[in-house]
A = this chain, B = another copy of it.
């Protein structure tokens, strides 16, 4: 070990390393993008699931708007003082009681979303019976066709009418997510998808206005479309989630540079199989996840790039090529790499998809100015 080297020897592997400087730079980049467009950044905390990271992403503003993907996240972040929370996954009937309890306990507002009449009725009925109120956005399909009503559909007005008619429901506006932005690695094409996303959700808001509903919230976003959008006229806020960490999936799409990737998995070489042509590391399928989305635009991504633990430079051509539960296999074509990575050596893996890789870990080891300075817990599960 050289004098300037990060000392990873004392920590057990596999573990999740978070680079504070890169995180800060990514946070600032997206705060600046939102500021430039004069929209709010309602950061999506589904990837980071950590209040320490959330504070950085919101520039320590306790009144900041946030987005979550689970009610457990909503409970966790509201317990730390966040009060304006969007739960951006279509609501189901078995979650109303928990939402109501949470709003009551923390004096927070949890904005819910739906795209259909049955859930709108169900929410109105629950709220009426229990003497509570819910804030709602209607989910708009802006071309991804995963979920949402089309902005020019009758369904939009039908859902809106049910929510608008209920005294217990506050219809706050519309939201969309152009997930089809993940189908391209061309910034021009992604900018066009962003424009489509913007136009769809603004059109939906206009149609609600015609029926007397003034949308306080007109929300769109994904990391690629927010990064590439040219114009956000009519939008009040944007949501994105993976930008704090980035990953090979975003790198392969050109949404971030190599040195923006802030999350890595520290692992140890536990075996050499010289005849079979691979080495074994102690980061397997649970430690890295089996997500292969990055392979679409980065065919050699494997299950992550294998990098020097100190510099995060990739070892020549090395990826994690196969996974079992606790074993990662790294195919080695050039035998000299066995000498560079002796048994017992540590390395870092840049993950394919940060949201999935991070989900297996209870916490982050924070790397700051060449030292591990803190352990930041995550809130996993539902």
* Residues of A in contact with B (beta carbons under 8 Å apart): 9-15, 46, 69-71, 89-95, 98, 114-116, 118-119, 122, 141, 145-147, 179, 268-273, 275-276, 280, 282, 285-287, 289-292, 324-327, 329, 342-344, 355-356, 359-362, 380-382
Question: Using Cβ atoms and an 8 Å threshold, which residues of chain B touch A272?
Answer: 116
A94 touches B268 (CB 8 A): yes
Contact B290 A70 (CB under 8 A): no
Per CB-CB distance, the 9 closest pairs between chain A and chain B, nearest first, are A92-B268, A90-B270, A118-B343, A145-B276, A89-B326, A290-B290, A93-B344, A92-B270, A147-B271
Chain B residues within an 8 Å CB radius of A46: 325-326
Asked whether, in the complex, the Cβ of B360 is within 8 Å of the Cβ of A380, the reply is yes
A220 smallest CB distance to B (angstroms): 16
Q: Are B146 and A14 in contact, CB atoms less than 8 angstroms apart?
A: no
Q: Which residues of B contact A275 (CB under 8 A)?
A: 145
Distance between Cα atoms of A292 and B11 in the complex (Å): 32
Q: A46-B326, A118-B344, A146-B273 are in contact. List 12 more A-B contacts (CB 8 A).
A: A46-B325, A90-B280, A92-B270, A92-B282, A93-B344, A119-B343, A141-B273, A145-B276, A286-B359, A290-B291, A360-B380, A362-B380
Given A94-B13, A116-B343, residue A327 in contact with residue B290 (CB < 8 A):
no
Complex contact A146–B329 (CB within 8 A):
yes
Q: Are A271 and B116 in contact (CB under 8 A)?
A: yes
- Closest-by-CB residue of B relative to A139 is B271
Within 8 Å CB of A287, what residues of B? 382
Chain B residues, CB < 8 A from A359: 286, 360
Query: Would A115 and B271 count as touching, CB distance under 8 A?
Result: yes
Q: Are the CB atoms of A324 and B268 closer together than 8 Å? A: no
List B contacts of A325 (CB < 8 A): 46, 69, 355-356
Residues of the B chain whose Cβ atoms lie less than 8 Å from the Cβ of A9: 94
Given contacts A291-B285, A324-B179, A381 and B356 within 8 Å (CB-CB): no
Known: A118-B342, A272-B116. A282 touches B90 (CB 8 A): yes
Chain B residues lying within 8 Å of A273, measured Cβ to Cβ, are 141, 145-147
Give every chain B residue within 8 A of A145 (Cβ-Cβ): 273, 275-276
B270 near A11 (CB under 8 angstroms)? no
Distance of A210 Cα from B191 Cα, bound (Å): 70
Residues of B within 8 A of A179 (CB): 324
Chain B residue numbers with a CB within 8 Å of A270 are 89-92, 114, 119, 147
CB pairs A–B below 8 angstroms (26 shown): A9-B94, A10-B94, A12-B94, A12-B95, A12-B98, A12-B382, A14-B382, A69-B325, A89-B282, A90-B271, A90-B282, A92-B270, A92-B282, A119-B343, A122-B344, A141-B273, A146-B329, A147-B270, A147-B327, A179-B324, A286-B359, A325-B355, A325-B356, A359-B360, A361-B381, A362-B381
